[in-house]
Amino acid sequence: MPMPTTNFILHELDERLAAQLCRAAFKPGQAFYLARSTSECLSLAERVRAGVVFCNSEPRRYQALLNEMKRQGLRLPVIVVSRIPEVSEWLDALDAGASDYCAAPFEPQHMAWLIESSLLASRQMAA
């Protein structure tokens, strides 16, 4: 499955988890940006024309981001990223408005599918 060319934001991910995600998900020519706060993430989203945000799995962090995006009318897929897969965490993230959830270890094929499906759903919502 070809990976779309797009920019990504890594919102409040620790360096080790971000590095694992980058190795599995991103291809040469794709850009990713690190955001250390919700305001920085939203600023970057507009400035770099981001396609997807990968966000820390701590509920207060992704909920703050999702709430602020909703308040500003920003429709951008947010994928919650965790170290350990947890069904309840996944369901909580989806209930909060995340487009999806993924956990380490990251598999390149799964990440390609996850990104592509999130981008497709985002384009369909915008149409």
Domain spans of the chain? 7-126
Amino acid 61 reads: R
CATH topology of domain 7-126: Rossmann fold (3.40.50)
- What is the value of pTM for the model shown? 0.91
In terms of Cβ atoms closer than 10 Å to its own Cβ (0-12, 13-18, 19+), residue 53 is buried
CA-based nearest residue to 55, from 47, 46, 67: 67
In a structure prediction context, what are the per-residue pLDDT tens digits for the chain, which is 127 residues long? 444 458 899 999 999 999 999 999 988 888 999 999 999 999 999 899 899 999 999 999 999 999 999 999 998 999 999 998 889 999 999 999 999 999 999 999 999 999 999 888 877 776 6
Distance CA(113)–CA(126), nearest Å, equals 20
What is the rounded CA–CA span in Å between residue 57 and residue 72?
22
